[in-house]
Amino acid sequence: MRRNRKVKILATIGPASSSEEMLKKLFEAGADVFRINMSHTDHELMRTLVGRIRAVEAAVGRPIGILADLQGPKLRVGKFANVKEALTVGQTFTLDDNPEAGTSKRVYLPHPEILSSVEAGHRLLIDDGKLELKAQKSDGKSITCTVVAGSGISDKKGVSLPDTDLPVGALTEKDRADLDAVLAAGIDWVALSFVQRPEDLAEARKIARGRALIMAKIEKPQAVARLAEIIELSDALMVARGDLGVEMPLEAVPGIQKQITRAARRAGKPVVIATQMLESMITAPVPTRAEVSDVSIAVFEGADAIMLSAESAAGAYPVEAVAMMNRIATKVETDPTYAGIINAQRSEPEATGADAISLAAREIAETLKLSAIISYTASGTTGLRAARERPQVPIVALSPILNTARRLSLLWGTHCVVSPDATDLDDMVDRACRIALEEGFGKPGDRVIITAGVPLRTPGSTNMLRIAYVGSETH
């Protein structure tokens, strides 16, 4: 089965979509990669879900990627004697290290790293920004604040700190245990939540040891400020607009989304746009016009993937949401303005042989109107460089390694096929042409362009271009 679009669809699975039958329906509707949210999934259920996805993969005969999204540090206030307290703008309210039940004047904050890091003038946003506090003074044991906006607070509400750089890593003890479990289960991508600095990626990389690729979720102002360094150390980015819109002004989020998308495209790293894309479809069979426009903007920007969260995990219309996203993306990519917008944002190639070959492959394919670019890739690097060019023709990534094909299923415009390694150059050309024919990317007499590294099986050595005719025989 080949998709008639280049952008990929990432669907979160949950109570509404966890059966093998439903997963197959989601794939058939257009889902390319499945996301498991470890905030709501224990290890036993995660392993069950991975097994079901792999069963669907075997049934449909296409590599399917799995992304495990780690919870990250969840910062919350303690409990109140009356569960909920009313507050008034202008009043003083204190967060402290006293574990007693909270009142209308104070509450326990079980996070010493916050108490020691917040400075006068810093904002504290409670319950997704519904309550805004401004720190007046902090002594390491308590933070005395003024209520700036909001009218109440209740048990265990989340705390966001847009102005404070916390001296904690992105991995909690739960995350470490979850990371070990998902790596053992053979997932393909790990998403790190609440990344603040490039160092936050180092521990996850050390634990993963290449067994999975690392995606940095950009949802804090500190991460936006150090974006270039974070891109350098990550394998992909996610624009996590939910928390980003809490910690930064809402009106700043669209511009930041564009900045992150373009920076990732320049670096040749996949970028996912996430959160509230078709939010109304949690309860309605059709989205709002604004949501359709939001999805289309991400596609026009050249994002690698667009993501559904609760829409597919817990909504009433999971299959319809995936199908709608598929229809929007397919329509956008046939719009007369699409190619011009994608081309206008194209970056200069890096000064490497692999980038020069990928640029040449795109230009030759588009000039000669070839049917496809066929990239041999063992590690995935050749596929990444081909996708960075955003060619108008399809990319077919051939890999002898199933894990590589699964990882590349997130990649823009890339159709992944698992194929035994070629024995020599002639076999490489024959195999590429045969697969182009079998997978529907060319008919007899069409031409394709093949990129590979010679000698074969040498990672990162893309140095060969070959134009070949698709034959009428599959031999």
- As a whole number of angstroms, the distance between CA 470 and CA 473 comes to 9
- As a whole number of angstroms, the distance between CA 129 and CA 162 comes to 11
- As a whole number of angstroms, the distance between CA 21 and CA 376 comes to 33
Beta bridge partners of 417: 398
Instruction: Please name the residues in contact with 82: beta carbons below 8 A apart, sequence gap of 6 or more.
Output: none
Q: Is 395 left (phi over 0), alpha (psi -120 to 50) or beta?
A: beta
- As a whole number of angstroms, the distance between CA 295 and CA 292 comes to 5
Which active-site residues does the annotation give? 35, 76, 217, 275
Q: Give the end-to-end CA distance of the chain in Å, rounded to a whole number.
A: 21
Residue 37 dihedral angles phi and psi, to the nearest 5° = -90, 110
Instruction: Please name the residues in contact with 95: beta carbons below 8 A apart, sequence gap of 6 or more.
Output: 77, 106, 107, 108, 109, 114, 115, 124, 133, 142, 143, 145
**DSSP assignments along 377-426, one per residue:** -SSSHHHHHHHHT--SS-EEEEES-HHHHHHHTTSTTEEEEE-PPPSSHH
Q: List the structure tokens of 347.
A: 């970056």
Beta carbons within 10 angstroms of residue 257's beta carbon:
21
In this structure, the dihedral spanned by the alpha carbons of residues 300, 301, 302 and 308, taken in order and rounded to 10 degrees, is -80
Beta bridge partners of 378: none
On the question of a cis peptide bond just before residue 112, with omega within 30 degrees of 0, the verdict is no
Find the helix packing angle between 43-60 and 173-184, rounded to 10°.
30
Tell me if 249 sits within 8 A of 270, measured CB to CB. no
The residue whose two tokens read 């599959």 is 474
